[in-house]
Every structure is written in structure tokens, then in C-alpha cells.
Chains A and B, each alone.
Chain A
Amino acid sequence: MLHIKCPHCGMRSQNEFSYGGDASVKRPELGKETSDEEWNNFVYNRKSLRGKHWELWQHLSGCRQWIKVERDTATHEIFNTLKANEEIS
């Protein structure tokens, strides 16, 4: 079980969180014309990366905040966590 540092609550066990996928995906702006390719990439296409990866988790059974977590998908090492409004550097 992973140990995730919620930027709001501190170190918490994985079972308090739910996984939310790739954090680098940006939703196309509302009302803006998008090509099929752009839209498909947003809705469906995800890379199954091996290695460091920024992903979203929600602290569901805690503060309910969505957070960004930098995790190695192969080793599960967690390098960094950010609040939802903090930009990935």
C-alpha cells in the first residue's frame, strides 16, 4: 500500500485516496472548436508510461482535494506531490 503525502493533510495511506489518471491532460476549453484528433487525445488516448509520471489522486476519505502526485509507475516511488492549483514544474 502506497504512502502518499497529501499537500493538505500530510502522509496518508493509499486506501484514503482514489486514482484519477494522467495529470498532464488538459481539457480543451469550453466552446472552442476542437479537431477529432485533439478530442480523441483528450478523452481516450493515454500513454502507459514506465517511469516517472505525474498523476491525479483525490484524497477521497480525507480533505476531498484533488492533488497531483509524481510517481514512478514501475517502482511506486513518489517524488513529489502538489496541490491542484500548483503547476507541475
Chain B
Amino acid sequence: MSQNFRLENIGLINRNKKLSFKFNGKDYFGYEGDTLASALIANGVHLVGRSFKYHRPRGFFGAGVDEPYAIVQLYRNGETEPNIKATEQELFEGLEAKSVNCWPSVNFDVGAINNFLKIFLPAGFYYKTFMWPKSFWYKIYEPFIRKAAGLGVASIEHDKERYEHKYEYCDLLIAGSGPSGLASAYAAAKNGARVILAEDKSRFGGTLLTSEVNIGNKSGKEWAEGIISELKEMPNVTVKNRSQVFGYYDHNMLVMSERISDHLPETKKFHPKQRLWYIRAKEVLISSGSIERPIVFGNNDTPGVILSSAAKEYLKVYGVLVGKNPLIFTNNDSGYETAIEFKKNGVETIILDTRKNPQSEIIDEAKNLGINIKFSYVVVAAQGYKKVRSADIAKISDNKEELGVIENIKCDCICVSGYWTPTIHLASQSGNKTKFNEDIDAFVPGISKQNEKTLGAANGIYTLNETLKSSFETGHELAKKITNNDNKISFPNVVEKKSTVHDKFWCVPLPKGKNYKRFLDFQNDVAVSDIEIALKEGYRSIEHVKRYTTLGMATDQGKTSNLNGLQLVSKIENKVVPNVGHTTFRPPYTPVSIGAIVGREIGKHSKPTRKSPMHSWHEKNNAVFVDAGVWLRPRYYKQGDENLFEASKREAKNVRANVGVCDVTTLGKIDIKGPDAAELLNRVYTNAWLKLPIGKARYGVMLREDGIVMDDGTTTRISENHYHMTTTTAQAANVLSHLEYYLQLVWPELNVNVVSTTEQWAGAAIAGPKSRDLLQKLFPNSDVSKEGLPFMGYMEADLFGVKARIFRISFSGELAYEVNVESDNGNFMWEKIIEAGQEFEIQPYGTEALSTLRIEMGHVAGSELDGRTIPYDNSLEGLLSKKKDFIGKRSLIREAFTAEDRQKVVGVVPLDKKTSIPEGSHLVKDSNAPLPNPKLGYISASCWSVEHNNPFSLAILKDGKNMIGEKLFVMSPLKNKIIPVEIVSSHYVDPKGERVRS
């Protein structure tokens, strides 16, 4: 296709590099330096989408970040991304894009029927229309809305791209590289400040690229290029294009997304696609400029109605005409600048100016060029469906309420300028109290809350001379404050054409008998009539009006619609705009891809994976792993085609019959040293610790101050002032923080040091009736006999030249030991145990068998110590010292904790001795009772008892003490199970605890 709308001799694109691309399946070409939007317009494509609600045809409205219409689905290098603004997406070779929100196609759209049904889709249509009948929602309304509305489609494929995060500090962060950004960055950099200058577009310079000004005898563009190349050479300056500062957070932290590869056909090797910068800046300068706002008139959403500044940018940057027969509709001098550019490039325009008789240098220039200007004229309505074909225009009375005779004139686009709105998003996000500036009919930043200043157009200053002057000064002052340097920058001579005041006119009245849609929010299809309905229905707060009508809520966040919406509310409510106020600006300023926010923390990188030193052995021996907190632990060791159930049963049985070995490296370990170590233990544990002899271990339970069990474990006295504490795998970090809290803040007088040694020791639990025989073989020179190493005993021993710690403690309820060696020797220890254990028929066992063993023994663990139970509930009340105080003791006398029918751990066996009981099931008296069936308790853990060869569960049951022998029902609505059960003691195996002491 030929580029009918491309001019020969204007623009900043590289005409030596042609790029081909596809849009909605058709082939086109553009040039390097184009955006998708400019390339499409050059090819005469103006219809790019359908609107959100009425599915009206959509074209281009802006040329950048403010674009509400031209949202496309992008295809790049085998991946797809939704909601890309065609005005921001740079063209690359092979780019493919499709319209969104059009079904089945952009030219024939089923949803456009909404346009004719619009009477049924007024303000609040989400809340009203689809609400009744309720049963229609899932089957009819929702699928329809999902298909016919919405923007792009998110990919369900894994994103192959890489995204990075970067943390940076600087003296000055400057957001925006227009005249104010460049001037302040230059002045600050010359005074030695560390500066980051961020520009969201690919080209630096902002409005300097398109305005006819002269700075120091250079064109605006040349001056900008000179400053940028000087800044790039300075070591204290970071200059970033394609980088949007989108969020201003507390303590002057800002977040910027840098699009590194989005403009390339594919990401270069070792490069990320995007990088998110977390920047902590001493000072922030907001030089984000301003956005032209529309004037509201009939059918003002027709493709071809475009902001006048965007028309100028397409012309001057891309050499593209948005139309060959443009009509300019303006209330200020900016429209004239666009008309002059058209004229210079041989395109005739008509200017409709709402003002009666304005006088300025710019207007004079337009007059001298012979441009046709109609004063006190307005566009009443655009005509044409998929593209503007003509405009209904009329003279407007001085009071702006009466329209004259309507005339129709031919045109192929309407370039509209309703004056400028400062981009105050970042300032507002920082907590700045914005104020309304009557001169420009817009909000500007007011009192800063953080170290931030707003410059130039973003601050409502619209002349270049004033902007540059204040920006040079501010950059200089701020840098001086930080670096103490005081290099004055000579201020360049600025030549710009003078303009005159704008007209406060923003909305064209409806002619008699006409009911044109006059849109305020172009992306969400919010028209003047919607706001009127919302107000009639009693919505007053602008925040409520926004949510009810969806004004300003789409991906463009109302960049072009907010102020006109406020104007309308203030007019109807008869309030001045500042009293209506504006809705809160929240980050992000523009959409940020989820990938960039997540960065590298995906999949395995979202948290560290910890592996024990024996991990490779487990892998070699067919271990199936399970996540245990941050650790990977063997769940079972698969033999042949065993499943989890069969393997864990075999492993558990072997522990009961012979001997097993389990990797317990993951248990939390805390080294405790100091003369007051015993006193600390005595305060944090519920039982007595002052008389524990050296070389002995003791089981302990610690509580929170509210009496709830926090953790349990054994602590061993290694020497006089040295203890070794173990915690559960899950609570290890919390227990350490807990001890540090009491030592540092509550009892600083205790002379104790605590440090985590979890990673320093590798641990193996050796359990089963033959474990002592195995130990004897492993430690031939140590006395590990019943007398030499009694239950809860501890010794240090030599494991074939390696120093080992042996604890006689048991989690399985069998005769058992735990052997610890320094982590580096973990694998050596493990292999020695397996080797020596062969004659005792040793088998490794995983967490599933470990659970089985502890459940049938009635040992409480994480599923019972779940942050809701007290010691009594877990039958641990025997460990509560009556003689001393400890953390949480005072809470245990609370009424609920001492109730006669307080819950308690019990055992549960199905009457048929066959049916497995799902964990989490409820216990009830009567399975047929009407709902809600009173719940007596819940199943905390279930296993297949290898000792009894039937299912067995632990439960926390109301009045558990008196329920032994009762018949109840287990109900699991999730699994659709009702199981009759008998309540038994939680100690299902060896209730007297003889084996551990054997």
C-alpha cells in the first residue's frame, strides 16, 4: 500500500530504513522512527478499534501517553501483549497488531448494536442493566459482556521474556525531558549533582521537537540535542529514554519502567525486555509537561477528531498528515500553530475560533499566511461514521449559549484544542495539595509534602522563556544545596511568538431537536448525558460520580477527560471547579506490565530453594520431593512403581520393625550462649530449665503472650553456658525474632546471645528398634548403651574422623537418635549410616512416613500447633510449671481457656476401619442434623496406622477429655463424605511411651 498521507521533506523518521508490518492481517510499511500510529495514519488507516461500551468506531486522538482510543493487541516474537497504545508502540520490522474490542471484526462489529440500544446503557449500566434476573448473570450477561466488551486478551502462555529490577540513588530525579527537564538537569549537572533524567518517549526534547522557537540562536530541537549530548557525556548524569516515571511513593522513592526491548523485533541476548527502577531521590523535579484537552461537541468521538497538538506532532515528527482537508477548532492560540504548520506544508485549513476578536503575534501570522479564520464559531457536530466527512458548524453568541444557523462544511479531520492541562499526577501522588488555577482552568501543584518541585507546563507555566528561566534556577539552587557548588549557567536568548488568553469555553451546546452524543471520556464512552443522569440520581462526590459512570477509569485514567468532567459537574451543581475537587491520582501514571513489576522473582526465583547437604543422595535414590517452607524435603523414596501411599507405608513399617533414617537438617537450630542462657529458657519455655544437667536434652513448649502455643522442640545443654535449641522447620525464623525481641527490649539485663545455626548442621534421625545396634557400629569408641546414652541424653562422638553430636530424642515414638555433623560432612554421615545400616535392613524414610509415625504416636506437630491452640488442647498441660512465670502464662487462666468442655486432641478411627478420613473434615454428633450442623471439632491430621493397619486421625475436639469411646460422624462436604467414627486416645501406639525409653 502506498503512503498517501506521508510528506516528503519533513519529520524525524529515518527514510532509509523501511519497515514492514501487519495490522488486522493486512501488510503495510513505515519507517524507522515511526510509531504504529504514525505508520498507520501514513497509510490512511484511521479505524483502529471499537469503543468499550457502545462499540463505536475509534481512530486516533493523541500522539502519545494520553491516547484513549488506539489500543491494540501486539504480537512480537511469538508472544502477545494486550492494551498497547499504538501511539506509544515504536514500529519494528515484522510488527503485528490487531484491534481489540471488536468482534467479529473492526469493520463489522456485533457490539455496535449497543450504539443503537444506548438508551439502555446509561450511567451506572454495570450496576443496573445486568442485575436482574439474578439467574441470568452467569449464563447470559457475563459471557456476553466478556466477549463484546473489554480490551485486549492476556496471554495464557508463559512469558519467555526477562524483566529486571534496579535500585538506584540520586540527588535529583527529573521526570520529563522537555524544556524544563533539560534546563534543570543541565544546571544541576553542571553543579555536580547526581542526576537521573527520564524521558518516556524515544526522543528527548518534548515540545521543543514540534514548536517554532529559538534558543541561543538554535532551533528548539537543536538546542535540546546539544544539551542531551552534553549531559550524556557527564559521569554524574544518567539519561534514560523510553523510561516512564509512573509512581511517586513515600520518602521520595519513585518507580520508573524502562522499556529496553519493546521497540525491537526481539530482545537481544542477555538483555531484559523491561527494567523497573526503584529510585530514591533527594529531590525530585517534575517536568512532565501538559496535555491538550478537547472541546466537547456532538459526535466528538468520530475517527478523525484529534487533538490539535497531536496533528502537529504527526506532521513535524513523523511527516504524516492526519488529514488533507483539516478543520481546526480551538479556544486558544495553540490551534493556530497547528494550522500554520499545515499551511507551511501546503495544506489549506479552516480555523474555527470560539473567541470573538483575539489579537496576538501567532494569530497575526496565521492571518498573514492567508489562513481562513472564523471567529465566534464552533463545531456543533462531526458527521461521518467511520471517518469524519464533514462538520456541522455554527456561529455562537457572546454568552456562548445560542447557536446560529447550522452550516455543513467538508473536512476529513477536526483538530481540536481546548487549552492545556498540566500533568500533575506525580505531584499529586507525592501528597502535594493541588490548587486550582483560574487562569488556565486547571489544577496545578500546590504545597509539597515531599522533596518535590514541579516545573514548566506541568506547573501551569506556558511560555518558554519563563519555563527555562525558572528551571535553570531551580536546578542550580537544588544542586547547590546538595553539592555546595555554585556555577552560574548563562541564560540563553529565547525567541518565541506571543500568544493571548484562551477562552474558557469547553462544551458546545446541543442545537434544538438534536441529541448528539457528546463524549467526555473517550475510552469508557462516558457522555455528557451520563454525568447528568448520575447527578440527577443523587451522586454528588466526584469520587462517586467517577465510579458510577466510569469517567476517567480506563487505562488512560482520564488524561483527556478529567477536567471537562469536572467542568460539567461544577456547571450542573453550580459550584466552582475547585469546590468539586478532583479524584485522587494513584500510581501507575500509565499501565505497567505485570512482568516488569514481578521482575526476576518468578517460578523458582520467587523464593530461595533450600536443599540439605544430602539432597543429591536423595535424588539418586528416587526421592520424590515436597516443599517444606523454603526447603525441599524427600516425601518418600520410590521403589518400583510404588505410589505415595504404598511407599510411605513401607518406610514407616520398616521404622517400627527395623531401623530407618530421615533427613532432619531442615529443623530450626539456634545456638544460645551466655551466663543467663538457662534463665532465658526458663522464661520462654513453659517448663523448668534451671536444673537441666550438662549433656541432657529436654522437650519444651513456648507460648505467645496470649497463651497460644508458638512452637515446640528440644533444647540440649552442651556445656555450662551453652545450649542448642531446635525449632520446627516452619517457625525457625519467628522463634529467633521472638528471642531477640525479649533479649533486646524486655529483658536486656539477661546476658545471652542467640544465633541461628540451622544451616551449620546436617541432621539425620535414626529411628527403630535396631537403631542402637546401628549406632554402636557407627561409633565403636563411644558408649551408646542404654546406660551410656539414656533417653534424652547427649554426647559428642567421633564418626570415622568427623566430629558428631548425638541426641537421644525421638519424634517417631521409637527408640531413636539424632546425629548432627557440620553441614559439609552431611553427605559423608548419611552414606556411612546407610552403609552400616545394611545389615539392620535400614531404609531411608521421607516426610510422609515421618508424619504417619508421629500421628499414630499422638505427637502433636504443626497441624495441631496451628496458632489457635493452647497447651491443654494438645495435651501438653503437664509441661506447664506451677512454680515459675513464663511468657504467656498469665493468659492461660482466661475463662475460655479453662472451660470444663475445652477442646482437646483425640484420636479418631473409622468404624469400618477402612475409610480414610480427609484432613480438615468436621466432627458432628448427628450427620442428619439440619444445617448449620453444630461442629464439635475438626480433623487436624490423618494417616494409615502401620501398627494397626487401619486409618487413624488426630482431631481437636470439644470436651475431648470426656469423649473417648463416643461414636461421632466425620463430615467432609468438600469430598462429599460422611464417615461414622469412634473417638479414641490420641496415643494410638505405645501409650505408655515404653519404646522411646527402651
A75→B167 CA distance, assembly (Å): 23
In the complex, identify which listed stretch (B312-320, B517-525, B744-752) lies at the interface while the others stay far away.
Answer: B744-752
Closest Cβ–Cβ distance, residue B204 to chain A (whole Å):
29
- A3 vs B741: C-alpha distance in the bound complex, in angstroms? 22
Residues of B within 8 A of A30 (CB): 683, 885-886
Q: Decide yes or no whether B55 CB sits under 8 A from chain A.
A: no
Binds A, one of B248-256, B384-392, B598-606: B248-256
> Which residue of the partner chain A has the closest CB to B255?
A1
Query: In the bound complex, do residue B280 and residue A3 qualify as a contact, i.e. CB atoms below 8 Å apart?
Result: yes
- State A76–B885 Cα separation when bound (angstroms): 38
Q: Which of B253, B278, B449, B890 contacts A39 (CB 8 A)?
A: B890
Q: What separation, in Å, do the CA atoms of A64 and B753 have in the docked complex? A: 12
Known contacts A43-B705, A43-B706, A64 near B740 by CB under 8 Å = yes
A65: nearest residue on chain B (CB-CB)?
B744
Q: Tell whether B891 is near chain A: CB-to-CB under 8 Å.
A: yes
Chain A, interface residues (CB within 8 Å), range: 20 to 34
Count of A-B contacts judged by CB separation below 8 Å: 53
CB distance from A18 to the nearest CB of B (A): 7
Query: Chain B residues with Cβ under 8 A from A79's Cβ?
Result: none
Select one of A18, A43, A44, A66 contacting B744, CB under 8 A: A66
**Chain A contacts of B253 at CB under 8 A?**
1, 3
B431 within 8 A of A: yes
Residues 228-251 of chain B: 1 if any A CB is under 8 Å from the residue's CB, otherwise 0? 000000000000000000000111
Question: Taking the nearest CB of chain B, how far is it from the CB of A46, in angstroms?
Answer: 13
- B737 interface residue (CB < 8 Å to A): yes
Those of A36-89 within 8 Å (CB) of chain B: 39, 42-44, 56, 58, 60, 64-66, 75-76, 78, 84-85
Cα distance A78–B250 in the bound complex, in angstroms:
11
Known: A2-B250, A3-B251. A39 touches B891 (CB 8 A): yes
Minimum distance in angstroms from A88 CB to a CB of chain B: 12
Q: How far, in angstroms, from A2 to B450 measured CA to CA in the complex?
A: 12
Give min CB distance, B756 to chain A, whole Å.
9
User: A31 to B885, Cβ gap below 8 A?
Assistant: yes
Residues of B within 8 A of A2 (CB): 250-251
On whether the beta carbons of B431 and A75 are closer than 8 Å, the reply is yes
B402 CB to nearest chain A CB (Å): 51
CA distance A56 to B965 in the complex (A): 50
Whole-angstrom CA separation of A26 from B885 in the bound complex: 17
- Residue contact A18 to B251, C-beta cutoff 8 Å: no
Closest to B431 in A: A75
A1, B251: Cβ atoms closer than 8 Å? yes
- Most chain B CB within 10 A, of A20, A65, A75, A84, is at A84
- In the assembled complex, which residues on chain B have CB atoms less than 8 Å from the CB atom of A56? 745
Task: Determine if B449 and A75 form an interchain contact, defined as CB atoms under 8 angstroms apart.
Answer: yes
Q: A34-B890, A39-B890, A66-B740 are in contact. Are A1 and B278 (CB under 8 A)?
A: yes
Contacts of B741 in A (CB 8 A): 20, 58, 66
Identity of the chain B residue whose Cβ is nearest the Cβ of A64 in the assembled complex: B740
User: In whole angstroms, what is the CA distance A18 to B249 when docked?
Assistant: 19
Query: In this complex, which of A28, A42, A43 has the most chain B Cβ atoms within 10 angstroms of its Cβ?
Result: A43
Closest A residue by C-beta to B736: A64
User: Which of A1, A3, A31, A85 is within 8 Å of B748, CB to CB?
Assistant: A85
Q: Which residues of A contact B706 (CB under 8 A)?
A: 43-44
Judge whether A84 and B744 touch: CB under 8 Å: yes
Q: How many angstroms between the C-alpha atoms of A18 and B737 in the bound complex? A: 10
Cβ contacts under 8 Å, A42 to chain B: 705
Q: List the A residue with the shortest CB-CB distance to B748.
A: A85
Q: Which of B252, B744, B884 has the most A CB atoms < 10 Å from its CB?
A: B744
- Which residues in B have their C-beta under 8 angstroms from that of A43? 705-706, 891
How far is A60 from B745 in the complex, measured between Cα atoms in Å?
Answer: 15
In whole angstroms, how far apart are the Cα atoms of A3 and B748 in the complex?
27
Whether A84 touches B748, Cβ cut-off 8 Å, given contacts A3-B251, A31-B885, is yes
Residues of A within 8 A of B885 (CB): 30-31
Give the distance in Å from the alpha carbon of A85 to the alpha carbon of B750 in the complex. 13
Q: Which B residues lie within 8 Å of A1 (CB)?
A: 249-251, 253, 278
CB-based contact A84/B280 at 8 Å: no
Which residues from chain B contact A58 at a C-beta distance below 8 Å? 737, 740-741
Residue in B closest to A83 when the chains form the complex, CB atoms:
B744
The contact size tier of chain B is: 20 to 34
In whole angstroms, how far apart are the Cα atoms of A14 and B886 in the complex?
33
Give the residues in chain A near B249, CB-CB below 8 Å. 1
Cα A39 to Cα B884 in complex, Å, equals 17
Residues of A close to B280: CB separation below 8 A: 3, 13
Which residues of chain A are within 8 angstroms of B737 by Cβ–Cβ distance? 18, 58, 60
Chain B residues, CB < 8 A from A34: 890
Question: Cα distance A3–B705 when bound, in Å?
Answer: 30
Nearest-CB residue, chain A, relative to B251: A3
Q: Which residue of A lies closest to B280 (CB)?
A: A3
With a cutoff of 8 Å between Cβ atoms, the chain B residues found around residue A28 in the complex are: 890
For the complex, what is the distance from the CA of A3 to the CA of B431, rounded to whole Å? 17
Q: Mark B687-723, 1 if CB is under 8 A from A, else 0.
A: 0000000000000000001100000000000000000
Q: In whole angstroms, how far apart are the Cα atoms of A81 and B706 in the complex?
A: 28
Q: In the bound complex, what is the Cα–Cα distance between A13 and B705 (angstroms)?
A: 30
Which residues of chain A are within 8 angstroms of B278 by Cβ–Cβ distance?
A: 1
- Give Cα A58 to B746, complex, Å: 14
Taking CB atoms, residues of chain A closer than 8 Å to B890 are 28, 34, 39
A13 to chain B: which residues have CB within 8 Å?
167, 280
Q: Inside 8 A of B705's CB, which chain A residues have their CB?
A: 27, 42-43
Alpha-carbon distance between A44 and B891 when the two chains are bound, in angstroms: 11
Give complex CA distance A56, B737 in Å: 13
What's the nearest-Cβ distance from chain A to residue B170, in Å?
14
Nearest CB in chain B: distance from A42 CB, A: 7
Shortest Cβ distance from A36 into B: residue: B894
A66 contacts B449, CB within 8 Å?
A: no
Chain A, Cβ-Cβ closest to B249? A1
In the complex, what distance in Å separates the CA atom of A13 from the CA atom of B168?
12
A2 CB, nearest partner CB in chain B, Å: 5
Within 8 A of A (CB), among B717-767: 737, 740-741, 744-746, 748
Q: What's the Cα separation between A3 and B278 when bound, in Å?
A: 12
Closest to A3 in B: B251
Chain B 575-619 residues near chain A, CB threshold 8 A: none
Chain B residues near A66: list those with CB within 8 A. 740-741, 744-745
B884 contacts across to A, CB distance below 8 A: 31
For the complex formed, measure the closest distance between the CB of A45 and the CB atoms of chain B, giving whole angstroms: 12
In the complex, what distance in Å separates the CA atom of A58 from the CA atom of B449? 27
| Chain B hits for A64, CB < 8 A | 740
Within 8 A of A (CB), among B430-459: 431, 449
Neighbouring B residues of A76 by C-beta, 8 Å: 250-251
Q: Least Cβ distance of B284 to chain A in Å?
A: 14
Q: Looking at the assembled complex, report how far the CB atom of B689 sits from the nearest CB atom of chain A, in whole angstroms.
A: 14
Q: How far is the CB of B911 from chain A (nearest CB, A)?
A: 43
Cα of A44 to Cα of B890 in the assembled complex, Å: 13
Point out the residues of chain B lying under 8 angstroms from A84, CB to CB. Answer: 744-745, 748
List residues of chain A with CB within 8 A of the CB of B891: 39, 43
A5 to B250, CA, bound (A): 14
- Shortest A21–chain B CB gap in Å is 10
Binding site for B on A (CB under 8 A): 1-3, 13, 18, 20, 27-28, 30-31, 34, 39, 42-44, 56, 58, 60, 64-66, 75-76, 78, 84-85
**What are 15 residue pairs bridging A and B, where the CB atoms are less than 8 Å apart in the complex?**
A2-B250, A3-B252, A3-B280, A13-B280, A18-B737, A30-B886, A39-B890, A39-B891, A43-B891, A56-B745, A58-B737, A65-B744, A76-B251, A84-B744, A84-B748
9 interchain residue pairs of minimum CB distance: A3-B251, A84-B744, A31-B885, A30-B885, A76-B250, A66-B744, A1-B253, A27-B746, A39-B890
Given A1-B250, A39-B891, A84-B745, 19 other A-B contacts at CB below 8 A? A1-B251, A1-B253, A2-B250, A3-B252, A3-B253, A13-B167, A27-B746, A28-B890, A30-B683, A31-B884, A31-B885, A42-B705, A43-B706, A44-B706, A58-B740, A58-B741, A64-B740, A65-B744, A66-B741
Interface positions of B (Cβ within 8 A of A) = 167, 249-253, 278, 280, 431, 449, 683, 705-706, 737, 740-741, 744-746, 748, 884-886, 890-891
